[in-house]
Amino acid sequence: MKKIIKLFSAILLLSITQQNVLAQNDNDNKNDNNKKYEFVKNKAVNKSYSVSSSDKLKIQNSFGSVEVHTWNKNEIKVDVTIEVSANTEAIAQKVIDGISVADSKNGGDISFKTSIKGINNSKGEKSTMKVNYDISMPATNPLNISNEFGATILPDFKGEVDLSSKFGSLTTGDLSNVKELNVEFGKAKIENANNGSVNIKYSTAVIDDLSGNIKLNLEFSSATRIYISHNLTSLDAKMSYSTANFKPIGNLSIACAISTSFGDFKNRTNVKFDDDDDNNEKKGPKFDHNYNGKWGSGSVPVKIHSSFGKIILGEPGADDMKDKVKNKSKTRTT
């Protein structure tokens, strides 16, 4: 019993820490987004590359947005705008001089990387910065984006995508070929993810559809909503310290196996789920449970495992989804 008490105490501490970190990020973002000092400096980087269908674009950015547009040209065009504000002109100049964007093309790999150096202000020196990317490219070329402290926005996209968003937001259309999606300390709104791995940590997310073969990982994430349709081929979901709502829609044929360890499962559908532990004659408290239910012929395997979290299947009740956390994009202040 002492071990169980210690375990739940640790869980409570981790949960409080998560909320404090996200709340602090939210407060910082609100304060930073409203700041713009008297002295403003701007500069821009504009580059274009002719590409074949297999050429890959890689973007590494921080403290700004990355927005992708698609067009029917064999060309990738990247426009970067950099804005700095400060309480003195000298500081504004120093900060903007420390921001650069390096680009290169090596074979079929095109890369752009933001570099920020020497921005540590002394006492009394105040500044903000934004580094925003606007990208036009074919919808079929491979794309890799890593962005911190800013919004990442993609339309419908057919090429392979590998996306990472930290301390910001990820918004996408229909992604036809997902390699990996990573969201940490932020939020995501995804229209569709086809195949690949989706990892959500310390964040909230809404995924309107999953298709193909999906591996899903949720860690310390709350108020996550995921819709499941006939487009799914298989789902292997692992959750820890998270609350997630899986909503089956349309005509389905899935075999759903749900397991919980120190967790909770709420079935809000009309499908009956059997608890394997109902026939277990072992006495005492049970912390591990296995539930099985089926839609139609059950040809599509759906596996969901939760440790120290909550799974809601179907339309959630009024009290099912809690601890909603909001997180916004950020402009760096130094």
The answer to whether the CB of 47 falls within 8 A of the CB of 75 is no
Q: What pLDDT was estimated at residue 124?
A: 75
Q: What residues of the chain score a pLDDT lower than 50?
A: 1-6, 8-13, 16-17, 19-33, 324-331
DSSP string, 237-279: EEEES-EEEEEE-SS--EEEEEEEES-EEEEESSS--EEGGGG
**% helix, strand, coil for the chain, step of 5:** 15, 55, 30
Measured CA angle at 249 (ends 247, 255), to 5 deg: 75
The answer to whether the CB of 187 falls within 8 A of the CB of 167 is no
Encoded tokens for 161: 């995508």
Hunting for tokens 């602090």 — which residue is that? 24
Which residues, listed in sequence order, are joined to residue 204 by a DSSP beta bridge?
187
Number of H-type helices and E-type strands within the chain: 2, 22
d(CA 202, CA 217): 11
Query: Whole-prediction pTM value?
Result: 0.86
Q: What is the pLDDT of residues 243-298, one digit of tens each?
A: 999 999 989 999 999 999 999 999 999 999 998 766 666 666 788 999 999 999 99
**Could you state, in order of their start, the residue ranges of all structural domains in the chain?**
163-320
Measured CA angle at 249 (ends 246, 253), to 5 deg: 95
